[in-house]
Amino acid sequence: MSNNLETQLSEYAKSPAYPFHMPGHKRIMNPMEPSSVTTVLAGAAEDSADSSATDPLENHFPENDESSSAKDPASGIYALDITEIDGFDNLHDPQEILKTEMDRAANLWGARKTWFSVNGSTCAILVAISAAVPKGGRIHIERGCHMSVYHAAYLRELSLSYIDPNSEEAQAVSEIPDGTDAVVITSPSYEGAVRDIQLWANAAHEKGALLIVDEAHGAHLGFHPYFPESAVRLGADLVAQSTHKTLPAMTQTALLHAASDRIDTRKVDFFFDIYETSSPSYVLMASITAAVHLLENQRQKLFDDYVKRLVKVRSRLSSLTHFSLDGGSMPEAFGEDQKRFDPGKLVIRVKYPGKCHLYKGREVYPDGSWLYELLRLEYHLQMEMRAPDYVLAMTSIADTDEGFDRLACAMEKIDRALTLTGDEGTRAEGAVGAGSSAGSAKKMQCRKAPETNEGIKKELALPRCSLPMFKACEVKSELVPLRQAAGRIAADFVILYPPDAPLIVPGEEFNMDLIQAILSYRERGFQIIGVDDNRVLCVIT
């Protein structure tokens, strides 16, 4: 580690760490440099031919510095960094090159109109909700939606109602309250769950509401039959996509698509003017256009190769004894279920989290953190995230055979070295929980594994709401000891991470069940955001 960000970044770029995380270009594919795309494709073919001859795990430790991820990052970036000079149009009043490029993107996805965002889907979602819902209106949302949805509600003083997480989708669509202006759903989720967009679109429209889809994790959908279709083509009205998450574009880049004629596009322009910088980066915009051009010209080959790699790696990862893979092996012709899951998300679950295993002869209690650290420290594979019982690898068309082979080999090796003792084992005293960043995989041994949070999350009733969210954030507040907060109105969010869902939203009342749940989550090692030294922010009434 250095104390200089540029040095640390360049050192990291040369390290053998393979990125199973965003951005989707994987620091390998730079569509602005066509030669980098060709190199990735050619390199992948060579890797594939070699992979049976060598052990992919042997070649990627710091002393061997020749991995494909060690290639220099994109060069010449400073030369491309301009402002709105003559001939380069204006993002806030596009008439020329930027208009042409946004029209090309709209054409690629089949949208009526597309806008570039250089402030991610975060900005696109703020704009979408602000444009679709009148000030003081009502939105029906998922409790665990991205915070930008809540932030839009705060800015526009909107009332909130929630999709019941315990309702089946067919039931949930019938529960959209009267008077809803827009329904906002996330699809795919971080872990790859895909909603029935047509069902939601029809239900929302029947109620006179618009459907906004947070497709931040789905910019790659609809380009190959192996993947579900994009919400843009399934009846949604506004769709936000982060091009940086699952396509080879730079961090911060995103698109907002108007997918129906129910949208007043002038309002979208108006809110982009408010929320987005007046100095948008041409480097970022060019990375969006380069990804769009790449898909226009080479998507068939790129996605065919990506699918082959996914089918292979999914087959290997789903054959493990001590781990399972969400979605399973998913061969290329997978059928109906394929519409409900993004096979590009590799969610690798510990089958018996917190149970006693032997690993290389030592007692361990594997969980998501244990696996995450082991992959990072021993195999130089950086996952996107860890949860109590799983790790998530994000993939894209820029991943290589070599990268997938390294992941599969590492998992097979770990799997072979593990034995379930048959004895659940008592949890180690004083051990740390999920989210801890223990320094080495060895230190992680015998650590306490938090239980899955699904049970409590679903059982907890929604707290009573006694003040609109935007008001609770505006009035005077004070920090109150959590244990004494029952009956008090929250003035800030308390968030459980993962899954990054609010346990309480400003304006709702703390109750004893919720306080107990927060205490219990903390005891078991979950990260709770919004509790400051055992105190929570409450409205002064």
Which residues make up the interface to ligand PLP (CB under 6 A)?
120-122, 146, 186, 190, 214, 216-217, 242, 254
500 residue type, one letter = D
Minimum distance between the CB of residue 190 and ligand PLP, rounded to whole angstroms?
5
Tokens matching residue 494? 């308390």
Distance separating alpha carbons of residues 369 and 347, to the nearest angstrom:
13
Of 210 and 449, which has the nearer Cβ to ligand PLP?
210
Nearer to ligand PLP, 47 or 142 (CB): 142
Least Å distance, CB 122 to ligand PLP, is: 3
Cα–Cα dist 266/444, whole Å: 54
Closer residue to ligand PLP in complex, CB, 57/501: 501
The CB-of-16 to ligand PLP minimum distance in angstroms stands at 26
Smallest gap, in angstroms, from Cβ of residue 478 to ligand PLP?
31
Q: Are strands 385-387 and 390-394 parallel, antiparallel or unpaired?
A: antiparallel
Relative to beta strand 113-117, strand 477-481 is: unpaired
Contact 481, 534 (CB under 8 A): yes
In the bound state with ligand PLP, the residue whose beta carbon lies nearer, of 255 and 381, is 255
Nearer to ligand PLP, 120 or 327 (CB): 120
Task: Give the three-class secondary structure for 344.
Answer: coil
Whether residue 506 is preceded by a cis peptide bond, meaning omega within 30 degrees of 0, is: no
Taking the C-alpha atoms of residue 184 and residue 277, their distance in angstroms, rounded to an integer, is 25
Cis geometry, peptide bond prior to residue 188 (ω within 30 degrees of 0):
yes
What residue number has its CB nearest to ligand PLP? 120
**Phi/psi at 166 (nearest 5 deg)?**
-90, -10
Contact 491, 455 (CB under 8 A): no
Of 188 and 463, the one with the shorter C-beta distance to ligand PLP is 188
Least distance to ligand PLP, CB of residue 316, Å:
27
- Quick check: 353 and 388 in contact, CB under 8 A? yes
Q: Which is nearer to ligand PLP, 152 or 216 (CB)?
A: 216
| Closest distance to ligand PLP from the beta carbon of 262 (Å) | 22
Tell me the three state secondary structure of residue 155. helix
Give the angle 389-394-396 at the CA atoms, nearest 5°. 160
Name which of 48 and 148 has its Cβ closer to ligand PLP: 148
The answer to whether 145 touches 214, Cβ cutoff 8 Å, is yes
Neighbours of 464 (CB within 10 A): 12
Phi, psi of 101, deg, nearest 5:
-70, -40
Q: Report the residue number, 290 or 467, with the smaller CB distance to ligand PLP.
A: 290
Instruction: Give the residue with the Cβ less far from ligand PLP, 216 or 238.
Output: 216
Nearest approach, Cβ of 209 to ligand PLP (angstroms)? 20
Task: Answer for the pair 126, 419: CB distance below 8 angstroms, yes or no.
Answer: no
To ligand PLP, the closest distance from the beta carbon of 290 in angstroms equals: 17
Question: For residues 398 and 347, is the Cβ–Cβ distance under 8 A?
Answer: no
Instruction: Determine the 3-state secondary structure of 480 from DSSP.
Output: strand
Least Å distance, CB 150 to ligand PLP, is: 12
Min CB(186)–ligand PLP separation in Å: 5
Are 376 and 383 in contact by the 8 Å Cβ rule? The answer is: yes
Residue 120: CB minimum distance to ligand PLP, A: 2
Residue 24 vs 450, nearer CB to ligand PLP: 24
Chain mean position to CA 339: 18
Residue 35 CA to its chain's centroid (Å): 29
